[in-house]
Amino acid sequence: MLKIKLAVIYYSATGTNYQLAQWAAESAEKAGAEVKLLKVQELVPEDKIAANPAMKALAEKTKDIPVATPDDIVEADAIIFSSPTRYGNIASQMKQFIDTTGGVWGKGLTVNKVVSAMSSAQNPHGGQEATILALYTSMYHWGAIVAAPGYTDPVTFGAGGNPYGTSVSVDGDGKMIEEQGRIRDAVFHQAKRTVEVAGWVQAGKSKTANSQN
């Protein structure tokens, strides 16, 4: 059985998407994948981070997590992204990272990567779905295969019912409003499904290659 290489790539200002990414990585490892947990490059000036207790605490907590590079995309069979909402779109930090993948995209090295995405916003109608769909638009340009959770498991309903990817609302203190156990279950299912779909793709590619030999 092929071992799927999965990159979980996130941007998190105060911790929500970091937590979603951790859950996704944990689930994927349990599903048998080889997992890399990666963050994108922070663009907020250091003095601004130092002045924000929540951002400062998260920066210290995650200082040893590697920063994602285009090479990580090339190496991965599948990628799970997690980004907060910024005006109904992905955070600029995540967008900047995706923009750096032009070189590998131009060589066709993003084709058939299996991708899925998660998000957060301050309220249920604050752009959660739009953010995930905006990220998927870039993935169509990659030639990637989107593995959305859809309604493939009842846990999706328990976490708010977003079929495009797990999303969560946060309060003014940056804490999840929804029950964390339900969000975790939805993330676990989404990550497991992503690994499963990637396995089908890799098995199909292997079968095709063998038939041509």
What residues in the chain have per-residue pLDDT under 70?
A: 1, 209-211, 213
pLDDT in the model for residue 209: 66
CA atoms of 160 and 183, how far apart (whole Å): 8
pLDDT in the model for residue 213: 61
pTM > 0.85: yes
Helices (H), 62-179: 70-75, 92-99, 102-106, 128-142, 155-158
Quote the DSSP letter at residue 149.
Answer: -
CA atoms of 61 and 171, how far apart (whole Å): 21
From the list 25, 27, 28, 62, the residue with the least C-alpha distance to 42 is 62
Range of the domain at 143: 5-211
Structural domain tally of the chain? 1
pLDDT in the model for residue 130: 97
**Span between the terminal Cα atoms of the chain, in Å:** 20
Q: How many Cα atoms sit within 13 Å of 73 on the Cβ side? A: 26
Place of tokens 């991708």: 115
Place of tokens 């998927």: 136
Tell me the CATH number at 156: 3.40.50.360
